[in-house]
Structure 1
Amino acid sequence: MGNLVLRALQSPLIAQKRNAQPTSYLNEMFSFINGGLTTSGEVVNYKSALSLSAVYNAVDQISNDIAKLPKGIYRKEGDNRFRDLLHPCDYLISKRPNRFMTQFSFHKALMVHALLLGNGVAVIKRDEYTGVETALELVKPADLLDIKKVNGDLTYYIKGMKPLNSEDVMHIPGFSFNGIYGIGVFKYAANNMGAALAAERFADDNFKSKGLLAGIIKSKNGIKKEAKEALSNAMEARLSKGGTHNIGFLDEDMDFMSITANAQEASLIDWKKISIEDVARWFNIAPHKIKQLENATYSNIEQQSLEHGSDTIMPWAKRIEEEYDYKLFTEEERATHYTKINTNALIRTDIKTKGEYYSRAVNFGWKTRNEVRHLEEDNSIDGLDSPLTPANTKTLEEINKEFAENGS
């Protein structure tokens, strides 16, 4: 009897859960995409923020670095790893995701969306009969209408398409509280970047007006109200005229006193430096990567370049790798296949660092000389396929074997 009563009490709750509306992530996900008014009075969204050179360069740098990294599908066979060039997804992620885009342009656009809007999304197209992946099609931010949790599964609503299950959608979220959707950086950086936009606007107005934006006309003689208004309007029209030759005239015993702070007093130069550093923090990128070189030296730039790879690029590369691993492989393939984005390629342009890396790899035996040649697109040379073993790291067994082979 007790169980029947309990079930009777629970049944309305169960029915309520079954009939509950799907959870939508639309409102939070698209915060500040369409713009928000900040304390500085500036409207900040991803379009207005891109007018700041530091924001544009930060997004351009990070997206370029992800796009230029080599990508491929690898297969595990025991302790060995091999590039699986025959896997259909290898060509998609390394050469041509779809017939309109190269892998560079695809991954760059995907990262631009993720960096600015918090979410980079692409649809995975599969053959109707075989289920084999045939294309990765980028989704425009405006075409992503909603993401909902329906019956415990994520469903994506994209303009012009039927609702898609999560396994049919590549989704790279940025900063996230729940791991499902990313939040655009401007949700929290809006006021900070709004102040930077206001400084840019102030500088522009200051240059246009030659620094004379407001002022007071002083006179030793009394002037009637109508004359004051006429004189004020005339001076305002003259000062706002612009141009290289703009000379005003005041009657005798009249002086003009500017009450607007000039650029130096407003510390515009210092503010621009601060805003660049703030942008670097928001996008987690070293200041020298967005051309702030004031405190840069050769030694600290080299260190910051290494940190750029490990702290800025690698987390984004890891997000993409894990999404590819889950969405592009069958359950059986996941045990033997994985995606690799080679972040080591970031050191290719640093000859000194690259040389030291190769030297250590060869001398300590964890790469053969031919493997290093392959990294430089050079052909193999006979006799360079065996790893080197430093004499002071040989085991006793290896030493005894050499003595036995030499007859000593």
Structure 2
Amino acid sequence: MFRDLDDPAVAEYLRGGQVSSSGAVVNMGSALGISTAWRCTLLLAGICGNFPAEVMERVDETTRRPAVNHPLRKVMTERPNGWQTPAEFRKMLTAHAVNKGDGFALKITSMGRVIALWPLDDPDRMEVAQNDDMSLSYTFTTRKGRKVPLRQEDLLHLRGFSVDGVRGIGVLRSAREAMGLSMTQQTAGGRMFKNGVLGGGALKTAGTLSDEAYDRLKADLDTNNVGAENAGKLMILEDGLDYASGLMSAVDMQFLEGRKFSRTDIAMFYGVPPFLLGDTEKATSWGTGLEQQNTGFIQYTGLDLHVMWEQACERDLLTDADRKAGIYIKIDSRVLLRGDSKTRTENYSRALGSGGGQPWMTVNEVRALEDLPPIEGGNVLPARMGAAPSPGKTPAEPKEPDDDEA
């Protein structure tokens, strides 16, 4: 709402985004022009879109299995709509939720069941209001300007971190100043290389060179000191000329340091560790350092997004009958936590009871995690394998039972 044309919000609206203190307009398009924001968005969307999302059934307190006959399973795992794959759909809504705070999809239903999900392309065109009974009402403005009223039960609403419980707060809003600074630094860098003097050095003298001396000097430089084949050659200066190296560099302007700080600052808003952006200056690249950082990224940032998806889908896509039947949504994050083949094999061995431990997985459960078919007899927990005697003790020899024991 604008009171008059002098309202600063009018200029921000006409520019298509929020104006930062640096003067840069921060919106979805301009933000994704920043390499850090692009990479962070791609990573966060990927860990939601590329991980398997399954409709599960809770049979009892200990038994879980895929709800293979549930109609929502096809929407979640095969085809959410007529033009997107499940990964494309979840990546799009995740990018909206991360950057704008909310992601919306229109539910297409048949006989009370969700048969398709149509993503709404711009969360900024959605108005959300909380009614007196605490329910939510939605109004979506189409690209042609038509307002469409929607009910809470008409939508899948992904809501990021929120302070009012109605709308999420996206990175574009919180990191507006950091992104605006990065944009102006990028613009300044481009203009510096376009218009700045970036010569390798200068020749200076207190007097003035004659035309003959100037032409001779220029010819000598072009012939003997320009090009890779002349690198390292000495220059012969005359008429009191002195050589001064480095007129101005990006380092002198603290340009590179500023860009580096801006990259780290933006990554903090997204919750992405710098090493995933190619910045390993302050992180070890040996041993398990980066591996542990990667695990932490999945456990904290990735888990937060997975829970957002799981609980939003359970709230908006499942019926009361589904909940009573024990139906729920599960995103499997073990894909990135399984480690390399050696570590994975050791974990499976321990799960099967190797080394005398108590087995807690069957052979077929292990094979299923590796996308291998089950084998006969593989659904039974194996016996303990390789149990070792306690240190300092030897196994007792079996003794014959006496008459009383017999």
Give the SS at the match of 2:320: coil
**Rounded Cα–Cα distance in structure 1 between residues aligned with 2:297 and 2:342:** 17
Give the equivalent residue in structure 1 for 2:194.
Answer: 208
Partner SS state of residue 104, structure 1: helix
Deviation at 1:204, TM superposition (A): 0.9
Q: Alpha carbon RMSD of aligned pairs, Å?
A: 3.2
Map residues 228-243 of structure 1 onto 2, 5 A cutoff: none
TM-score where L is the length of structure 2 = 0.73
**CA 1:142/1:382 → structure 2, altered by over 3 Å: closer, same or farther?**
closer
2:96/2:123 contact within 8 Å kept: no
* Kept after mapping to 1: 8 A contact 2:160/2:308: no
Other structure's SS at 1:195 match? helix
- Within the alignment, does 1:338 sit opposite 2:328 as a pair? yes
Counterpart pick for 2:181 among 195, 198, 201? 195
Q: Which of the residues 305, 308, 314 maps onto 1:325?
A: 314
**How far off its partner does 1:93 sit?**
0.8
Question: 1:36–1:327: structure 2 CA closer, same or farther, 3 Å change rule?
Answer: closer
Cα distance in 1 for partners of 2:29, 2:284 equals 30
Q: CA deviation at 1:31?
A: 9.9
Deviations 1:170-199 (A, max 9, x none): 111122102221122122211112111121
* Secondary structure of 2:307 counterpart: helix
Once the two structures are TM-superposed, the CA of residue 348 in structure 1 deviates from its matched residue by 5.3
Corresponding letter in the other structure for 1:269:
L
Percentage identity across aligned positions?
A: 28
Equivalent of residue 39 in structure 2, options 29, 34, 57: 57
Tell me which residue corresponds to 1:8: none
Match in the other structure for 1:347: 337
Equivalence for 2:276? 289
Q: 2:301 aligns with which of 312, 320, 345?
A: 312
Task: Calculate the TM-score normalised by the size of structure 1.
Answer: 0.72
Alpha-carbon contact 2:130-2:166 (below 8 Å) kept: no
Counterpart contact for 2:79–2:86, Cα < 8 Å = yes
- Greater than 4 Å deviation, 4+ residue runs: 30-33
SS at match of 1:157: strand
Give the distance between the partners of 1:210 and 1:367, measured in 2 at CA.
Answer: 66
8 Å Cα contact 1:123-1:138 kept in structure 2 = yes
1:369 matched residue in structure 2 = 363
Question: What amino acid maps onto 1:89 in structure 2?
Answer: L
Q: 1:43 to 1:86 in 2, by over 3 A?
A: same
Partner Cα separation in structure 1 for residue 51 and residue 13 of structure 2: 31
Is residue 2:137 matched to residue 1:155? yes
Gaps of 5+ in 2: 1-8, 200-205, 207-243, 389-405
Is contact 1:145-1:157 (8 Å) kept? yes
Give, in angstroms, the shift of residue 68 of structure 1.
Answer: 0.7
Indicate yes or no: 2:102 matched with 1:112. Answer: no
For 1:296, give the aligned amino acid. T
C-alpha displacement at 1:124, in angstroms? 1.1
1:101 aligns with 2:84: yes
Q: In structure 1, what is the Cα distance between the partners aligned to 2:14 and 2:258?
A: 24
Distance 1:358 1:306 in 2: 19
Alignment size in residue pairs = 326
Q: Which residue of 2 aligns with 1:279?
A: 266
Q: Aligned residue for 1:303?
A: 292
Judged with a 3 Å threshold, the aligned counterparts in structure 2 of structure 1 residues 124 and 174 are, in CA distance, closer, same or farther, namely same
How far apart in 1 are the matches of 2:55 and 2:297? 25
Cα distance, 1:32–1:38 mapped onto 2, change above 3 Å: farther
In 1: Cα distance, 2:117 partner to 2:373 partner: 33
User: Shift of residue 313 of structure 1?
Assistant: 0.9
1:142, CA displacement in angstroms? Answer: 5.8
Match of 1:45 in 2: 27
Change (3 A) 1:31 1:300: farther
Match of 2:49 in 1: 67
**Amino acid in structure 1 at the alignment position of 2:48:** I
Contact 2:103–2:158, Cα closer than 8 Å, also in 1? yes
Note the alpha carbon deviations across 1:308-362, whole angstroms, 9 max, x for none: 1111111111011111112222212213111111111123573344334333333
Equivalent position to 2:69, from 79, 86, 89: 86
Aligned-pair distance for 1:33?
9.9
Residue 161 of structure 2: aligned partner: 175
Query: 2:251–2:257: 8 Å Cα contact kept in structure 1?
Result: no
Give 1:343's aligned amino acid: S
Conservation of the 8 A alpha-carbon contact between 2:273 and 2:293: yes
Partner of 1:246: none
What is the CA-CA distance between 1:121 and the residue it aligns to? Answer: 0.7
Quickly say closer, same or farther: Cα 1:289–1:368, change in 2 above 3 A. Answer: same
SS of residue matched to 2:377: coil
